[in-house]
Amino acid sequence: MPEVLVCKDGEIAEGGVRLIKVGREEIGVIRHSNKYYAYRNVCPHQGGPACEGLRMPQVVDRIGEGGILLGQTFDEDDMHIVCPWHGYEFHLADGCHVIDRNLRLKRYEVVQRGGEIFIAV
């Protein structure tokens, strides 16, 4: 597969996104925990710009004895991409919707080589 240069390693801020155009496709390259992820910037729900939404960790309910809700916390190891149009959430690690794993963002392979970041298209 041909590779497209995105940037030098570190040019995208931690937690940031860079949108690039490859032909007619717009692809969001996201940096989180010094790893890079690349997805087509289209939400499968209604075509919203998924990669331009928030990135936030999974919300986890803390349940006590008797099923009493003690509060909520975040799972920083399960970061989500939240589409800004309707709030659809996708796991950053694999692009799958958090509830319906059949609904997913189109993923691109990220290649790190020689201090630069490429995506395979």
pLDDT one-digit tens code per residue, 17-40: 999 999 999 999 999 999 999 999
pTM value?
Answer: 0.90
pLDDT of 1 above 80: no
Q: Which domains does the chain have, with CATH numbers?
A: 3-120 (2.102.10.10)
* pLDDT in the model for residue 105: 98
pLDDT of 112 above 80: yes
Task: Encode pLDDT of 35-63 as tens digits.
Answer: 999 999 999 999 999 999 999 999 999 99
| 85 vs 53: CA distance, rounded Å | 8
Where do the DSSP E strands lie in the chain?
A: 3-8, 17-22, 25-32, 35-40, 54-63, 69-82, 89-91, 107-113, 116-120
